[in-house]
Amino acid sequence: MAKSIITEIGSIVPEFKEEKVIILFGPMATPDLRDICVIHEFHQKPVHALTVGTQFSLGKHKYTITQVGCDANKNFEELGHISIYFKDDYNEILPGAITVQPDIFPDLNVGDDINFELEL
């Protein structure tokens, strides 16, 4: 289980809608990263929360993880960092990324929750 809240949305994040990717990062993100990231703070730290089949909510949207990169859990637990690809035609997943379904890019707002391992 992992729970966090969105505290900041970088100015460039909406431009990633076409690519269908969101980059999450914890509050220690550098100023350079903040423009391209969705910054969030954990209420409940993750412990191996990212597994294929895990369901989660991101704001008002619900997703299921379809692929998990080899470093995704480590990066998420230590830095709050993962790249979320909202498409399943991704052949070789990056080490710090996950892919999810459905392939709908979410509308996000500061204050929205991120909840992993939800019963949907």
Tens-binned pLDDT, residue by residue, of the chain (120 aa): 789 999 999 999 999 999 999 999 999 999 999 999 999 999 988 888 899 999 999 989 999 999 999 999 999 999 999 999 998 776 788 999 999 999 999 999 999 999 987 544
Entry pTM: 0.93
Residue ranges making up the domain that contains 84: 2-116
The number of distinct structural domains making up the chain is 1
Q: Contact 102/1 with Cβ under 8 angstroms?
A: no
What CATH number did the domain enclosing 45 receive?
2.40.33.40
| Helix extents (H) in 19-103 | 31-34, 72-79
Q: Which residue has the tokens 């209420």?
A: 43
C-alpha to C-alpha distances, 71 to 50, 60, 118, nearest whole angstrom: 10, 27, 22
